[in-house]
């Protein structure tokens, strides 16, 4: 259970973590800081590549 989770933003930035909680935080932080978008947790989970 140490697989890496990844989300690639539409702007090309790739965010990685082995922890889904941390990844959700990274992505929501990036989206609000760089794109002024608030994603829900469900939306972020739908973007995760395993
Ligand atoms: Zn982005």
pLDDT at 3: 82
- Ligand 1 centroid to 31 CA: how many Å? 6
Gap from CA of 28 to ligand 1 centroid (Å): 10
Predicted confidence band at 9 (pLDDT cuts at 50, 70, 90)? very high
Q: What is the pTM of this model?
A: 0.89
pLDDT of 41 strictly over 80: yes
What's the 44 CA to ligand 1 centre distance in angstroms?
Answer: 12
Phi, psi of 14 (to 5 degrees): -105, 130
- Average pLDDT in the 16-45 region? 97
Cα–Cα dist 17/24, whole Å: 9
**Residue 50 pLDDT > 90:** no
Q: Provide the token pair at 1.
A: 């259970």
| 8-state DSSP, 11 | T
Instruction: Compute, in angstroms, the gap from residue 2 CA to the centroid of ligand 1.
Output: 25
**15 burial level (CB within 10 Å; 0-12, 13-18, 19+):** buried
Instruction: Kindly list the domain boundaries of the chain, sorted by start residue.
Output: 5-47
Per-residue pLDDT for 46 more than 90? Answer: yes
Write down the pLDDT at residue 2. Answer: 64
């Amino acid at each position: 259970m140490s697989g890496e989770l990844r989300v690639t933003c539409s702007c090309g930035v790739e965010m990685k973590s082995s922890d889904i909680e941390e990844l959700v935080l990274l992505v929501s932080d990036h989206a609000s800081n760089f794109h002024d978008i608030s994603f829900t947790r469900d939306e972020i989970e739908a973007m995760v590549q395993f």
